[in-house]
A = this chain, B = another copy of it.
Amino acid sequence: MVNTGAHSYHARFCFLLVLVSLSVEQVDGVWPLPQQLDQSAERYSLSPQLFSFTYGKDSAAQTGCSVLDAAFKRYFSIIFPDFTKGTENVLRYMWSEPQPFVVSVSVKTRGCDGYPDEDSDESYNLSVLEGQAVLRSVSVWGALRGLETFSQLVHQDDYGSYFINKTEIVDFPRFAFRGLLLDTSRHYLPLHAILKTLDAMAYSKINVFHWHIVDDPSFPYQSRTFPDLSNKGAFHPFTHVYTQSDVMRVIEHARMRGIRVVPEFDSPGHTQSWGKGQPGLLTPCYKGSVPSGSFGPVDPTVDTTYKFMESLLKEVKFVFPDSYVHLGGDEVSFTCWQSNPNVRAFMEKMGFGKDFTKLESFYLENIMNMTATLNKTSIVWQDVFDYHERIPQDTVLEIWRGKNYKTELSRITNAGYRVLLSAPWYINHISTGQDWRNSYAVQPQNFSGTDEQKKLVIGGEIAMWGEYVDATNLTPRLWPRACAAAERLWSNEEKTMNADLAFPRLNLFRCELLRRGIQAEPLFVGHCKHEYDGL
């Protein structure tokens, strides 16, 4: 491990120690790797008493900018944790005369009170010089990325002194959509677990929280229009729900970190829990000529279904500011539909014959049109592409099936649709060893297709499905494993294909996550200077 060597010398050569840890910490201590990073051995010491963030004179945003004011406060504590906790070692200033240091932040456009969206410009330039750093970006969201990078450039030597190296950075994301999916239906995730995850996402520059909020097992979203959905569909109507204010807190916590919140209301399948609070919504399954008592997917043959979905989607548009909404559309089983005489009659009437994919696309077309009418862009799982002829052209298709995802990338982009790649990043699948290397080896644009097709890959998503995950193991399973995909989606692929070169840097970043209170599991044998003390 990176620090091991250093420490074993500790008792013997303190001077050597400093050199060692420097030579270690200087090199590319930033995750994900910036597009251009030039560092020199020249270093400047920082002292919390004389350190400040400020707005550049020419900046469109000035004091009062909610997003950046909060970020300045947040990053000060992240950079100087012991100072903030009041545990810092005053002796350290015997070693070097404290110097003032100012980080000046300038943004071109204000937008402090808005939300990040698909067109947000996250690029930034950062120069660290003697006594000052200059951070320039188009948007406040780019400034947030730059502040994160700056915080990772600051290191602390073994006497507790802070320092930063002379650095020039030009940085921007490779993909605009860098998502993480959490599943709050198979297990309920308490609010603080979601907020903590948003913190760690910001540290890794992941910018979309895909909230798979409801599914078969439970419906924790407390709807204002249909309160019975959670009253009867949640694991518990009071302890295992997300109130409207919970949802607002998640959205605001995410906004402050430049993270979009895209909710998923998956239908017509994966809706068992919906049925408990919304009688008549699901298809009654039949055993022979009588209802069996069990229910199948949403019933696409009755008007009440569409009235319900329209009201629900109107609420969703009102509650979730992002212009995207995920409509699901995956894994619809036809057996229950087949068993139901009314559904069969409807198929007859519509001339669908025996082809239930026609019925499925009939349903989803209606839902996608509702969404379009609400000026929302739909994301749907790849299944929809397979059976559907008339998908609105701006629909985003998300690839989740592990087998031949490259073929799927070719087919869907060849049809001119935008795609999100998730299949190789289902990190709820675990195995012994360094499986982050598999995520890291993924090349999202390495499929047969034209340059135009490659451009249709808008990004990817890390998925943490909830069958075996709740608040007890979420964080160590996510971090640092999710960091591999985060770098793949942000950084230059040529500069980051070698996992062995990335390993020590990821190790340092994992230790930094621990220092920030994120329960990130180890990559391999070794230790961190600041171990996790949350137990």
Interchain CB contact under 8 A, B531 and A188? yes
Q: Is A535 an interface residue (CB 8 A)?
A: yes
Q: By the criterion CB–CB under 8 Å, are A11 and B237 in contact?
A: yes
Residues of A345-380 contacting chain B, CB below 8 A: none
A426, closest chain B residue (CB): B432
Chain B residues, Cβ within 8 Å of A532? 470-472
Interface residue ranges of A1-55 to B (CB < 8 Å): 3-4, 7-8, 10-12
Cβ-based interface call for A468 (8 A)? yes
**Is A236's beta carbon under 8 Å from chain B?**
yes
Chain B residues whose CB sits within 8 angstroms of the CB of A534 once the complex forms: 534
Contact, CB under 8 Å: A4 / B192:
no
Determine the distance from Cα of A10 to Cα of B239 in the docked complex, in whole angstroms.
12
**Interface residue? A521 (CB, 8 A):** yes
* Interface-facing stretch out of A227-235, A249-257, A289-297, A299-307: A227-235
Closest to A185 in B: B525
Residues on B with beta carbons closer than 8 Å to the beta carbon of A192:
535
Question: Digit string of A495-535 for contact with B (CB within 8 Å is 1, else 0)?
Answer: 00000000000000000001000011111111101011111
Q: Which of B236, B473, B514 contacts A476 (CB 8 A)?
A: B473
Interfacial chain B residues near A237, Cβ < 8 Å: 7, 10-11
On whether the beta carbons of A232 and B8 are closer than 8 Å, the reply is: yes
Q: Are A470's CB and B231's CB within 8 A?
A: no
A429 to chain B, nearest CB (A): 5
Whether the pair A535, B432 counts as a contact (CB closer than 8 A) is: no
Supposing A187-B526, A217-B526, A430-B432 touch, asked if A473 and B521 sit within 8 A by C-beta, the answer is: yes
Interface digits, A172-206 against B, CB 8 Å rule (1 contact, 0 not)? 00000000000000111010110010000000000
User: Given the complex, which residues of B lie within 8 Å of A431, measured CB to CB?
Assistant: 430-432
Q: A11-B237, A431-B431, A521-B473 are in contact. Are A533 and B187 (CB under 8 A)?
A: no
- Docked complex Cα distance between A234 and B6 (Å): 12
Q: Tell me if A64 counts as interface (CB < 8 A to partner B).
A: no
Query: Contact at B468–A524, with CB atoms within 8 Å?
Result: yes
User: Considering only CB atoms, which chain B residue lies closest to A476 in the complex?
Assistant: B473
- Asked if residues B236 and A10 are in contact (CB atoms below 8 Å), the reply is yes
| Interface presence of A397 (CB below 8 A) | no
Q: Determine if A492 is an interface residue (Cβ-Cβ < 8 Å).
A: no
How long is the Cα–Cα vector from A524 to B473 in the complex, in angstroms?
13
Known interface pairs A235-B527, A236-B7. Does A521 touch B470 (Cβ–Cβ under 8 Å)? yes
Complex alpha-carbon distance, A229 and B240, angstroms: 51
Contacts A217-B526, A233-B8, A526-B235 given; does A531 touch B471 at CB 8 Å: yes
- Please state if B432 and A520 are interface contacts (CB–CB under 8 Å): no
Q: Is the interface of A mostly helix, strand, loop or mixed?
A: loop
The answer, yes or no, to whether A469 is at the interface (CB within 8 Å) is yes
Asked whether A11 lies within 8 Å of B231 as measured between CB atoms, the reply is yes
Indicate if the CB atoms of B469 and A522 lie closer than 8 Å.
yes
Chain B residues near A233 (CB-CB < 8 A) = 8
Quick check: is A276 within 8 A (CB to CB) of the other chain?
A: yes
A471: which B residues are within 8 A, CB to CB?
Answer: 531-533, 535
Bound together, the chains give a CA A429 to CA B10 distance in angstroms of 34
Docked Cα-Cα span, A322 to B233, in Å, equals 54
Assuming A430-B430, A432-B430, is B468 touching A521 (CB within 8 A)?
Answer: yes
User: Is residue A466 contacting chain B, with contact meaning CB distance below 8 A?
Assistant: yes
Q: Which of chain B's residues has its CB closest to A514's CB? A: B472
Q: Closest CB of chain B to A276's CB: distance in Å?
A: 6
* CB-based nearest B residue for A183: B525
How many angstroms between the C-alpha atoms of A534 and B276 in the bound complex? Answer: 31
Answer whether residue A433 sits at the interface, using C-beta atoms and an 8 A cutoff: yes
Determine which of B8, B239, B519, B522 lies in contact with A468 in the assembled complex, contact meaning CB atoms within 8 Å: B522
- Residues of chain B with a CB closer than 8 A to A276's CB: 8
Interface residues of A (CB under 8 A from B): 3-4, 7-8, 10-12, 186-188, 190, 192-193, 196, 217-218, 231-237, 239-240, 276, 428-433, 466-473, 475-476, 514, 519-527, 529, 531-535
| 5 more A-B residue pairs beyond the given contacts A8-B234, A471-B531, with a C-beta to C-beta distance below 8 A | A8-B276, A217-B526, A236-B529, A469-B521, A472-B475
